[in-house]
Amino acid sequence: DLAGGILAGDLALVRAVSAVAALDVSPTTRTALLDLLGDVVAESAAGELADTTALAAGRPSLPTVLATAERKTAVYTFVWPLRAAALLVGTPAALALGPALEHVGRLVGVAFQMRDDLRGTFGDPASTGKSCVSDLRAGRATALVAVAAGTGAWPGVLRALGDPELDEIGAEPV
């Protein structure tokens, strides 16, 4: 249920902050890690919010959808671990890599999200673990939806987006 999911997320976030705060590292490194974690959580939350409101703003554009994926997925999945690793290594050379690691993490994270969106639409539900219509039912503005928004197929796609009754047969034309 939604409330249970939100509470589980809150608990996981508190445990993550506690784990970072308890690391046996210098106070400077701990502060840098906690600052980074705070930045990552804030940016990820903004990305999640943008994801939930993307269709309310009208036709989603591909640059907007990709920027949202960067914020909601890439930052916590790839940027955080890469930047945290550099901070934990702590050498001047590792710290100097921070901006490059962030850049690579953002690119890899967007690619990861796009692959997930493709698998979520065209993948085998037995291997992906989710229905091929779940993103459409949920009204998610994926990269595929953004591309469709620029085509003549958009009215049909728009009708299907967010339809809780949409099934595989109804989604086939989409």
Alpha carbon distance 103, 83 (integer Å): 10
The pLDDT of residue 147 is 94
The pLDDT of residue 27 is 97
pLDDT in tens, the chain (174 residues): 788 988 998 999 999 999 999 999 999 999 999 999 999 999 999 998 888 887 776 788 899 999 999 998 999 999 999 999 999 999 999 999 999 999 999 999 999 999 999 998 888 888 888 888 988 998 888 999 999 999 999 999 988 988 999 998 988 888
The pLDDT of residue 52 is 82
Residue 135: closest CA among 112, 150, 116: 116
Question: What does each C-alpha distance from 88 to 30, 123, 157 come to in angstroms?
Answer: 9, 38, 46
CB 20 within 8 A of CB 34: yes
Interval 76-89: pLDDT, tens: 999 999 999 999 99
Interval 20-31: pLDDT, tens: 999 999 999 999
